């Protein structure tokens, strides 16, 4: 069941959309922000709020790669694997991330701190390799820069830039 805050946030998204179906992705992100990820119950809640079927909402949830359909870590690392980032060394950064974190793409560290997810594009094609952590974009990654950013996350620093 949606909380009052979730319901109000989704209602706001619906008011700004041309029609309720156009607000599905935003509504899913409201639930995710509140709950950390979007469970099957979250999909049903959004469907009910928007007068859609669960299948219609699930179609958006599984298509949109920024909707997390399973629990994620405290910090979600989105590593761009587009061709632009790949050309300038994304594979090396991904390998470094895998070794540094001890996880494969799509997994979460055993302490629940980090989830590593490859994404299609972060829109920083001229500054790759790029990653986003907790909504902050980091560009021109090197293994040392990656480690420094993660260390700031571990230390709980406000901004990781």
| pLDDT mean for each 10 residues of the chain (161 residues) | 95 91 96 96 97 96 93 95 95 97 96 95 94 94 96 74 45
CATH code that applies to domain 4-63: 1.10.10
Rounded CA separation 9/133 (Å): 23
Question: Given this model, what pLDDT does residue 122 score?
Answer: 93
Rounded CA separation 56/35 (Å): 21
- CATH number for 75-155 (one of 3.40.50.720, 3.10.310.30, 3.40.30.10, 3.40.190.10): it is 3.40.30.10
Domain boundaries, the chain: 4-63, 75-155
Question: Given this model, what pLDDT does residue 157 score?
Answer: 57
Q: Tell the residue number behind the tokens 């571990």, with chain if given.
A: 154
Start-end of H helices in the chain: 4-16, 24-35, 40-50, 54-63, 83-87, 90-101, 143-155
Closest by CA position to 36, among listed 131, 99, 108: 108
Question: Given this model, what pLDDT does residue 161 score?
Answer: 45
Question: Given this model, what pLDDT does residue 135 score?
Answer: 86
Distances (CA, A) of 161 to 75, 77, 117, 131, 142: 14, 14, 20, 12, 14
């Amino acid at each position: 069941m949606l909380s009052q805050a979730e319901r109000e946030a989704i209602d706001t998204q619906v008011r700004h959309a041309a029609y309720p179906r156009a607000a599905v992705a935003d509504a899913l992100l409201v639930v995710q922000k509140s709950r950390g990820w979007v469970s099957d119950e979250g999909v049903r809640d959004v469907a009910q709020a928007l007068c859609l079927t669960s299948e219609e909402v699930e179609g958006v949830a599984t298509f949109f790669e920024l909707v997390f359909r399973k629990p994620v870590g405290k910090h979600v690392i989105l590593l761009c694997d587009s061709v632009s980032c790949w050309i300038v060394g994304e594979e090396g950064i991904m390998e470094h991330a895998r070794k540094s974190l001890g996880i494969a793409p799509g997994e979460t560290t055993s302490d629940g701190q980090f989830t590593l997810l490859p994404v299609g594009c972060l829109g920083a094609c001229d500054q790759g390799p790029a990653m986003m952590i907790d909504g902050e974009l980091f560009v021109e990654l090197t293994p040392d820069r990656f480690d420094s950013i993660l260390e700031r996350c571990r230390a709980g620093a406000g901004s990781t830039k």
